[in-house]
Amino acid sequence: MRRYEQIYILRPALSEDEISRVVENTNQLILDDGGAVIFLNKWGMRKLAYPIKKEIQGYYILCDFAATPDVVSEIERKFRIDDAVLKYLTVRVSDTISAEEISTAISEAEALATAEEADGETGDDDQQEENAEAAISEPEEEATPEPAQEDQAETAAAEVKPVADQ
């Protein structure tokens, strides 16, 4: 089994039921073949960088999962057929993943999701400010030229003599 990350964009006009249907069908394909969904994140409606199939917005979904390459091929085949899917991208994260690594990744994803829910919107801003403050170090001293460099520059300027008209 391999680990994959997949993002797909659905049409903005879809209802919640239709969005859930696409997500459930995708997850079912993964689970039917013995794979595992590590985490699923619905980003929601976002503006597209450029129009896709005459749409300027799309519903984004990010999925991290472990499966065989055949499952990925089948998911992508169904995405090409389904008119609800505007775009999709699947990236292989690792070539092999064991059952232990899957369970560890699932528990880490759940812990991260729980922490994000506890922080809420204001907590994220506070954390970002703390990270920014920690990243700022004391200002470095301005680079001043060494005295030897100044002398060399003055010497070079003095050696250049204007040529008199002959």
Average pLDDT, the chain: 81
In the predicted structure, residue 137 carries a pLDDT above the cut 50: no
State the pTM of this model. 0.67
Q: Which residue did the predictor score with more confidence, 146 or 8?
A: 8
In the predicted structure, residue 27 carries a pLDDT above the cut 70: yes
- CATH of span 2-122: 3.30.70.60
Model confidence band, residue 147 (pLDDT cutoffs 50, 70, 90): low
The owner of tokens 């050696």 is 159
Domain ranges of the chain: 2-122
In the predicted structure, residue 106 carries a pLDDT above the cut 80: yes
Q: Give the pLDDT score at 118.
A: 81
Q: Which residue did the predictor score with more confidence, 118 or 159?
A: 118
